[in-house]
Chains A and B, each alone.
Chain A
Amino acid sequence: MLLGLLRFIRGYVSFTVSGKYPERFLNITSRNRIRLWNVQRKGDGFDGCMYRADYLKIRKLARGSGVRLRVTAKSGLPSYVVRYKDRVGVMIGACAFLLTVFVMSLFIWSIDITGLDRVSRVEMQEELREQGLYIGAFKPSLDYQRIARNILLENHDVGWMAVNVTGSYASVEIKEEAPAPEVENVYAPCNIKAKSDGVILRIEALEGTTEITEGSGVIEGQLLVSGVMGDEQGTSRLVHAQARVLARTTHEASFSISEKQNRLIPNGETAERQSAELFGLRLPYRFGRVDSPYAAVDLYTDAPAPLGITLPIGVATEKVSALTYEETELDDNSAKELLMKQSQLYELFSLSDCTVEGRETELSHQDGVYTLKVTYTCAEDIAYSELIGTDENTDLTRYVNPTEPEKEQ
């Protein structure tokens, strides 16, 4: 293959030799250090190939050997150059194409980040940009190992990272750091107490003496399961009490909103802007504007991604919606609707550990302010552990059975 490439670059001719003694021609060429290949006997002569430059030298020699030499084909790069000699534009275009491909291959045109879970993609893109890896980055100036090392040092959520570049496509593989699990000291003697008031629904005691019964009411801080266990002989031992105590509890929350609302509302005026994204450059070609000083903008980019690789070209569209300030006065229904949305958010974030069984709402209107008071009835685990001891420095671990044998020094 390499030989074929060399022959193509130097250019070669296919020729036919005919005459009485074609062997003489072979010997003359070899004596003059002219290489022939693919020599095949044909009738009273033979066919063969030789370099284009050699052919110019051989004509005189062929005449002396008494054979007739005829070229059947010219091949290789010099033939193409001669053929397109008058078409300068084609040559310039071909050279420009090759140059463009070469220059373009020196830049990063697509970045793919995989393995993200807790770390946001935008945050990681920003960190990569700070380290010099972005769409349009000059490839020879990048040190991929340094990029990965610096991000590992700066971002503690990233446990492992690799930057692989194939051509102009950069693939960033990330494994996030696994958070260390909380290790509970299962040998420390403790009681289980109630973290809020409630009515006990179910007790699942794994260790310890249960001090309450199902259906009984408890108050915050009351002992539910004791870590002191007695036996028939009257002796006591300390244990690490473990239990799950499900109780019905109530939570109250109030949400307020002013009667008069000054809000930005879309006034119906919209516009669309479009721009072509080309290798990191954004070239706007469609301009739209709204008269209002306030506007909401939705931006989305449509970029082709064949075989899962996003190309550095695309169309970015911005949808602009004009907004105007509007003072509205809430009525009872709209105020309640807004306050209920706030209460739903409260449920979602503050009562995430509870199962909400019911809710009672009470809307009041006083001094231009609407207030919604919500009482939630929940089922939740109210157990929490409290170490047994006179103060926090007291260590009673050695009194707990089974005890771990002390390690010999």
Chain B
Amino acid sequence: MMPRENTHEKKKRNPLLPVMNAPCIELSGNREILVEGSKGVLEYTAETVRVNTQGMILTICGRELNLRCISDSALMIDGFITSLSFTV
């Protein structure tokens, strides 16, 4: 007979939990990216934008990157995006 898992262990294994605190990133092709849940812009040049999110840094590389709109919790970047990388 298999041992029953207690409820505490079940909660720890819930796959949704890490997602709850993660930023929501939405890409439209490679021309536009929307980042919800940003905590600030660490670096902004026409080729690189580094965004601080909860627990990681999102690095967007490309050409002619513009911050189309920036608010307290979201930012939208357009331009020609060539790569995305995450630093955890």
Q: Do A and B bind each other?
A: yes
Closest to B43 in A: A23
Do B44 and A35 touch across chains, with their CB atoms under 8 A apart?
Answer: no
Complex Cα spacing A35 to B68, Å: 10
Size of the A side of the interface (Cβ < 8 Å), in residues, is 18
A38 close to B72 (CB less than 8 A): no
Please tell me if the beta carbons of B72 and A36 are within 8 angstroms of each other in the complex: no
Bound Cα distance from A39 to B44, whole angstroms: 10
Number of interface residues of B (CB under 8 A): 18
Bound together, the chains give a CA A350 to CA B42 distance in angstroms of 103
A residues less than 8 Å from B44 (CB atoms): 22-23, 26, 39, 41, 46
In the complex, A210 Cα to B75 Cα: how many Å?
102
A37 touches B70 (CB 8 A): yes
Closest residue to A27 on the B side, CB-wise? B40
Indicate if B45 sits at the interface (CB-CB under 8 A).
Answer: yes
A26 contact set on B, CB distance < 8 A: 40-41, 44, 67, 70
Minimum Cβ distance to chain A for residue B32 (Å): 14
Check: A407 CB closer than 8 A to any chain B CB. no
A21, chain B: closest CB distance, angstroms: 10
Question: Quick check: is A72 within 8 A (CB to CB) of the other chain?
Answer: no
B72: chain A residues at CB < 8 Å are 30-33
Cα A277 to Cα B71 with chains together (Å): 58
B81 to chain A, nearest CB (A): 15
B70 touches A33 (CB 8 A): no
**B70 and A39 form a contact (CB under 8 A):** yes
Closest CB of chain A to B23's CB: distance in Å? 14
CA distance in complex: A40, B70 (Å): 12
Q: Is the CB of A30 within 8 A of B70?
A: yes
Q: How far is the CA of A151 from the CA of B69 in the complex (A)?
A: 59
Q: When the two chains form the complex, which single residue of B40, B65, B69 contacts A36, counting CB atoms closer than 8 Å?
A: B69
Task: List residues of chain A with CB within 8 A of the CB of B43.
Answer: 23
A38-B42 Cα distance, complex, nearest whole Å: 18
> What residues of chain A lie closer than 8 Å to B68, measured between beta carbons?
37-39
User: Would you call A29 an interface residue if the criterion is a C-beta within 8 Å of the partner chain's C-beta atoms?
Assistant: yes
- The reply to whether A39 and B67 contact each other, CB–CB distance below 8 Å, is yes
Chain A minimum-CB-distance residue to B71:
A35
- Give the residue of B38, B42, B66, B73 whose beta carbon is less than 8 angstroms from that of A39: B66
- Residues of B within 8 Å of A39, CB to CB, are 44, 66-68, 70
Q: Which residues of A contact B (CB under 8 A)?
A: 22-23, 26-27, 29-33, 35-41, 46, 48
Q: List 9 A-B contacts (CB under 8 A).
A: A23-B42, A26-B44, A30-B72, A35-B70, A35-B71, A36-B69, A37-B69, A38-B66, A46-B44
Known: A26-B67, A27-B41, A37-B67. 15 other contacts (CB 8 A): A26-B40, A29-B70, A30-B38, A30-B75, A31-B72, A33-B71, A36-B67, A37-B68, A37-B70, A39-B67, A40-B46, A40-B67, A41-B44, A46-B44, A48-B67
Instruction: Mark B residues whose CB is within 8 Å of A.
Output: 38, 40-46, 65-73, 75
